[in-house]
Each structure stands twice: as structure tokens, then as C-alpha cells.
A and B are shown apart, each in its own frame.
Chain A
């Protein structure tokens, strides 16, 4: 590689990552600003964190979001895993094209359309069968489950298609029936993908504003809805504090996850080398 181009690539990377990270860093810095204005540094203070924790509306919304996130990520896992299995292992069946379309479409569908359509479904269902009576946490959970299930299905499908199918055939050959093969062989092997799928779903649910706004009811304000209504008017130091907390939580999780992955890889490498030496 010529030195010239390498300089170009390095400056592209530096500029790109600065673009990605400077705004986030600024939010973190200003969350500790004593004053209310963004431009003026009035001294270090943690008062916005205190006021954030005293904001009952914000705390309630966060609690709602967490509950919805856990529920819909878990449900999405329960629905998305068989969907991914069907896509990669079941071959042809009647209605497969529609099925794969229904898994792929939610990933790219504009949120406003998904939100509107689900709301209209809930209203229609309520008229027809009286369920769901009103809208709230449960309707948001259903909505999030639906699009998160699609993400889980894609994650599971891609993990399964990268996996040697003969491992499952071997289990069948040794006398295990299909249901058992799934629980004893397939599931343990795709466990990391399932964990990734759950976390992805949880994050997506926690982050969603548009769909939740459509299908929410009174008393089911989620954190993004709360944040949205307060930042519409401009910068708010409390939101800076909240953003900092979220970024901190995510960074800690990511760092822990990568350390775990690195360590298991290193262990595996060492073990593999040990195995080779033993022969």
C-alpha cells in the first residue's frame, strides 16, 4: 500500500470517528455543567443528575421502558428463534415466500407505517372482539415483539446457516428425535446468537419512539417519549445527564462483553494449542 493512500485512509478514519464521537462526548461533558446554557461552562456540578433522579415522570417512564424491553425481548426470542430455525432448516413448505417476506420486511419498514398500522389493528380488534381493551404497556409490548422477532429471526438464521448441519444429522443418526436435537444440540450451539438477539431486541425496544407513540395509551409513556417531548423545545441539562447514564451503561456492558469474548477465545486458543502438543 502506498504511503499516500494510507495517509488518506487514516485521516478518513480519524475524521469519521471524530464525527461519530465528538457529539456524544460533548453531551457527556455538558451534563456536568453547572449552568443551563450549552455554550457557557459555569463550573463542574452533578446537580442535573440529582434533579434527574427527582423527576418522577422520567423515573416512571424509564421503569415502563425497562419492563417493556425485557418482556418484548423475551417474547421476540421465543418467536424469532423458531422463525429463524424454520428459515434455515425446514426447506420448502407452502407459504415460505410470504413467511420470509414477513420476516425481512419489518427490518426496513418505516416506523411511522408500522406504528400506524398496528394502532389501526388494535382499534379494529377492540371494536370486533373487545381486546385489547384500550392501549398501554401490553400493546407497546406486542408491537415491539413483532419487529424485534424479525431481528432475532435474522440473527438466528444467519448463525444456523453458518453452522455445520452434519452436527445435527449426527445427533439424529445416534437416535435423537428432532425435538430433542433442537434442545440438546442446536440450542446450546446458537446460545451466543440468542443472547445477542435478546440484547439487540432489548436495545431496539428501549430506543423506540415512533411505534410506541402510536400504540401507547394514557399512563404508558416510555422513556423515549418522555425525552422526545422535553428535547423538542431545545437542550435540557437533565437529558444530558440521562444520556450520559445511558452511554455509560452501554459502554460498561460492551466492554464486559468484549472482555468475556476475548478471554474465551484466548482460552480456546490455548486449549487448542495444548491439544496439539499432546499428540
Chain B
């Protein structure tokens, strides 16, 4: 069928197919570009400007001076971040707290994921649903639940004092301990699910083969199960670690005034001090910290996808 023999309708249809494709790509592309990528560029821009008592409270980055555009790059905000130890402490704290919480989550989540993966069919789906269910209830309320438990007048203290083990209430809320509890509690499902999906896919006869060839159960676990579940461990750990670093609600509600975490610092710079440029600089610095784990996570995901295809 040569092109001059096409009817007008066919020509129109082909035009639509050609441009429909552009349209289908274009609309979500444009939206994400405008509301996800451009905002980062603006944050980057404002992190280089100076705070002013104005609306909005920062100096313009581009200014018309002598009928030409000049760009004033102000590194002051970043220098300030470096000079005030508060920020460095907050960064290091965030990473430390996130890392420790990730390890605890892994230690609790792995046996659970393994137990679910080895459960019988119907039991397995019930257990899996029980893991996912808390995720559908409010995150805020799950954190809130721990206030009542860890508080000075909370349930644990009341119970311990009732039994007579302690006479003075323990300080648990508003400590780093409470933050660990909060992070582990809220992010546990994110650890269990990727672990479960790698463990579930694993052929149980591999372990049987290892034991058949003389491995004790724990050796079979260390030599076969653990290496094979490594992708799940990595994915789960990053899914906990990355958001935990930037966590705001948990340290705010459960942590003490000394539990500095970077998300909280950003929030305070923005809402309490109204210093938008410093807040932007904090955001950019946080992003730089997180780029490596985020890229790593992406890499694992794409590898997984390729393997599945």
C-alpha cells in the first residue's frame, strides 16, 4: 500500500498514532518535570541567595543591574552550614540513627520474613496481610501510639512501677531510644516485604540440597539462604535507611530536644527561623548525602527488573 493511495481517514489515524505517542509521553513528563524537577532547581537557586526580611524572604538571584543580568552566587549559606557545628551534628546524628535503626529493623524483619515465606499457603497470605495492614493505617497515629507507651506517665512506666521493679519512672520518651523504637516500628513492613519476596522465590530444595551434602541447618542458612537473599536485604535496608535519614515526625514526637536530625533542622530553619535560603542549603546538602544510596537503590531495582524479564 503506497502512501498516495491512503484515504484521508487513514492519514489522520496515522498522524494521531504518531502524535498520540508524543502526547502520552508528554503529559506525565511535563507534570513531573514542572512539579518535581524544576522545584529542585529552585531550591538550588535559593540556597545561593541571601535571607531578607521580605516576602518571599530571600534576595533575588537574578537582578537587573545596568541593564544586564548578573547572577549573584552567595556561598554564605553553605559556609554557615560548615561553620556551625549544629548542622554537622545533625547530619551525623541522622545517619547514625538511620543506620542503627536499619540494622535493628533487619534483625527483627529477617526472621519474620523468613517465617512468612516458609508458612503454608493460606497462613502465608494472612501473615502477609498482617504485615501490610499497618501500612494502610495512619503513619502519624502509629507514631502517636508510642507516646502513650513510652511517656513518663506511660504504660511501661506504670507497669514497672506497679510491679515494684522501679520506683522512679524511666525517661524513655524524648530520648534517642524512643526514636529508634519509632523508626523500627513504622518502617518494619518496608523491610519485611522485599525480604519476603526474595525469600519466597527461593527454591527450598536448595537448602535441602545443602543439608543433603552435609551442611548443618545454620551452615545451610549462612552459605545458601543468606547470600541468595542479599538483594532483598539491600533493597529493604535502603527502603528503611533513605527515608529514616530525612525523618521529621518521629524525632519531633518521640525524640527529645537534643535528638537533632536533619529533617527536623530543616523544618525548624524553615518554620521557626523563616530562613529559607539556609533551609534550601540544608536540603541540598541532605540530597548530596542521599544521592549515593538513592542511586544504589535504583540500580538494584533495575537489575531486579532485568532479571525478571
Contacts and interface: CB of A to CB of B under 8 A. Distances in A.
Contacts of B111: 8-9, 12-13, 16
B283 A116 contact: yes
Interface string A85-117: 110001001010011011111101011111011
B169 to A, nearest CB: 10
Given A86-B25, A254-B129, A243 B145 contact: yes
The listed residue with most B CB atoms (<10 A of its CB), out of A38, A106, A227, A254, is A38
A155 B192 CA distance: 19
B138 A206 contact: yes
A149 B27 CA distance: 12
A179 B21 CA distance: 9
B99 interface: no
Interface stretch (A23-31, A43-51, A53-61, A271-279): A23-31
B206 interface: no
Contacts of A39: 153-155, 157-158
A161 B305 contact: yes
B14 to A, nearest CB: 9
A166 interface: no
B27 A113 contact: no
A67 B78 CA distance: 40
Contact of B142 (A24, A79, A83): A24
Of the four ranges (under 10, 10 to 19, 20 to 34, 35 or more), the interface on chain B belongs to 35 or more
Given A24-B134, A161-B309, A177-B17, A108 B294 contact: yes
A138 to B, nearest CB: 12
B217 A5 contact: yes
B28 A82 contact: yes
Nearest to A200: B136
Contacts of A27: 141, 144-145, 148
A227 B144 contact: yes
B139 interface: yes
Interface stretch (B63-71, B79-87, B226-234, B245-253): B245-253
Given A20-B185, A82-B24, A13 B267 contact: no
Nearest to B147: A235
Contact of B243 (A13, A80, A110): A110
B193 interface: no
Contacts of A20: 130-131, 134, 185, 188
B20 A207 contact: no
Interface string B205-224: 00000000000010000000
B16 interface: yes
Interface string B246-273: 1111001100000000010011001100
Contacts of B155: 26, 38-39
Interface string B32-44: 1111111110110
Interface string A1-28: 1101100111011011101110110110
Contacts of B109: 16
B32 A178 contact: no
B153 A12 contact: no
A201 interface: no
A243 B146 CA distance: 13
Given A9-B111, A27-B141, A120-B43, A254 B35 contact: no
Interface centre among A15, A110, A209, A224 (most CB of B within 10 A): A110
A112 B90 CA distance: 15
A38 B151 contact: yes
A-B pairs, 7 with minimum CB distance = A110-B246, A12-B111, A117-B39, A23-B145, A39-B158, A83-B28, A9-B115
